[in-house]
Structure 1
Amino acid sequence: MSPSRIAVLISGTGRSLENLLRVCAAGELDAEVGLVVADRGKLRGLEIAEAASVPTQVIRPRDCDGPEDFSAQVFDAVEAAACGTVVLAGFLRHLPIPAGWLGRVLNIHPSLLPAHGGKGFWGDHVHRSVLEAGDAVTGCTVHYVDNVFDAGPIILQRRVDVRPDDDVHSLAGRVFDEECIALPEALRQHLAGEVRFVAGRVVRGDG
C-alpha cells in the first residue's frame, strides 16, 4: 500500500517540514510529503522542499480576492497533488477550511492550548507570553483546524517544564524538541484512523 500523501503549508524556515521529511524518509511515519505550499517566496522552507525533490507552490494572499479565494487556491493545489491530509507547520495565515476538508487539516502550536493561543500568538510571541505569565509548564499542541484560530479539537499535547533561568530562546528550543515528537505522532494516529474529527470533537478508536 502506498504511503499517505500529505501537503505541508509553511510561512518561514520550514523546521517542522524538515522534521517531517526526516521521519518519513526514515520510515518512522508511513507518509510522504507530496506538496509544500508557502504564502510567500524566498523561504528557507521552500529550499528544504526543493532539496528533497518535493513540489512547491507559492500562493500569496495579496494576489487573491480575499480569504475564501486564498483558501480555494490552496486546496485546489492540494487536491491536484493528490494529497489527502494538510499540515499547517508554522503557517501564519488564517485559512478558511472548506466543509469537505474539516478533519483533514492539522496544526502544530507551541503552547498547551487553549493557553497562549489565538490570533497574534505564534513563534516567540507565544514563549514570551508564557514567561510573562509566570507559567510553570508549557508545551505544544497538535489539533484539528476549524475556522477559529487555534480553537480546533486537540489530538495530543506534550508538556515542557519552564525553568527559572529560561529566556524565550531556551524555552522555544525545548518546546520545539517536543513538537518534533508530537506532530509525527499525531499524524500517525490520524492516518491510522486512531483519531477522527466528528461533529467538532476528536473521537478516538471506535468511539
Structure 2
Amino acid sequence: MPVKGTSKSEKLLPIAVLISGAGTTLKNLIEKKKEGKLPVDFRLVISSNPQAGGLQHAAAAQIPAIVVDWNKYRDPQPFSEEIFDHCRRQNVKLVVMGGFLKRLVIPPDFENRVVNIHPALIPAFCGQGFYGLRVHQAVLDYGAKITGCTVHFADNLYDHGPIILQRVVPVLDDDTPETLAARVFQEECKAYPEAITLIAEGRVQVEGRKVKILPPKDVDFEL
C-alpha cells in the first residue's frame, strides 16, 4: 500500500516530533527545514520528560510543544492515547520519533504513519534495552566491522517495523562507544531527513515488511 504523504505541489507535510531528552534529532530536523531541505510543517513537539533539553530547541524555533509526562501514567496505553489525541487535534500526518525512549502503542489510524531511527543496522543490535551508547558498546563487544543507522516505520514491537532506508558506517579498530556514536549520528543527520522527504513526496510504498521507494513524480496521497 502507498504511504500517504503530500505531492510536491501541495503544502508541507504536517509532522509531530516526539522527544525524551536533549533533542539532537529535533535540532537536526529544524536545521534541515531552515535550509530548505525538509518539506515539513512542524505542528507539535511532544516530550515524555518535562526536563527534556529538546524543549528548548522547540521554543527557539517557535514550534508548539507540550509535555505528556510518562511519570504521571506508567502505563503505555493511556500515555500513548494522550499523545495521539494531541496529534489528531493538530492534524498531524506523520509522527517522528526523535530520541523518544518510552513505549508507544500505535493505534490503527497511525499505522505506517510513525517513523523511528535506530543507531544500528536492524535486525542487529536492536530491541528492548538497545538505545544510546548501549548499542555502540554492543557493536564493539561483538567485533562487528560495520554498523550504521536504520530509518523504519514503528509498530508495536521494539525496532521491528518495515525498514525505509539504512546507512552503513565502518567500525574502526580504535573506536570507543562515543566515537562510533558520533560517526553514526553524522549519517543519521542525513538519513532521517531523506526518509521523511520521501514520505512527504509520496514516494514510499509498503508491501508487508518490504518498503519500495518510487521514482520522483507529482503524486497526491490522501490521509
Query: TM-score, structure 1 length as denominator?
Result: 0.95
Contact 1:103 1:196 in 2 (8 A): no
- Aligned-pair identity in percent equals 43
The superposition leaves residues 168-205 of structure 1 with CA deviations (integer Å, 9 ceiling, x where unpaired) of 11100000000000000010111112113344542432
Deviation of the 1:60 alpha carbon: 1.5
RMSD of Structure 2 on Structure 1 (CA): 1.3
For 2:28, the aligned partner's letter is N
Higher relative contact order (CA 8 A, sep 6+): 2
For the residue of structure 1 that corresponds to 2:157, the secondary structure is coil
Deviation of the 1:22 alpha carbon: 0.7
Gaps of 5+ in 1: none
Question: Which of structure 1's runs of 4+ aligned residues deviate more than 3 A?
Answer: 197-201
Contact 2:12 2:41 in 1 (8 A): yes
Q: 1: distance between equivalents of 2:205 and 2:98?
A: 20
Deviation of the 1:29 alpha carbon: 1.2
* Pairing partner for 2:26 from 3, 17, 33: 17
For the residue of structure 2 that corresponds to 1:117, the secondary structure is coil
Contact 2:163 2:209 in 1 (8 A): no
Deviation of the 1:65 alpha carbon: 6.9
Q: 1: distance between equivalents of 2:123 and 2:208?
A: 19
Q: 1: distance between equivalents of 2:112 and 2:43?
A: 19
1:145: which partner in 2?
154
For 1:154, the aligned partner's letter is I
Deviation of the 1:12 alpha carbon: 0.7
1:45-194 equivalences under 5 Å are 45-64=54-73, 66-194=75-203
For the residue of structure 1 that corresponds to 2:27, the secondary structure is helix
Q: 1: distance between equivalents of 2:98 and 2:195?
A: 13
The superposition leaves residues 64-115 of structure 1 with CA deviations (integer Å, 9 ceiling, x where unpaired) of 3721111110001111122110011111111011011011100010000010
For the residue of structure 2 that corresponds to 1:156, the secondary structure is strand
Gaps of 5+ in 2: 1-9, 216-223
For the residue of structure 2 that corresponds to 1:93, the secondary structure is coil
For 1:63, the aligned partner's letter is K
Deviation of the 1:155 alpha carbon: 0.3
For 2:213, the aligned partner's letter is R
Greater displacement, 31-40 / 63-72? 63-72
Contact 1:144 1:197 in 2 (8 A): no
Q: 1: distance between equivalents of 2:159 and 2:100?
A: 12
Query: TM-score, structure 2 length as denominator?
Result: 0.89
For 1:20, the aligned partner's letter is L
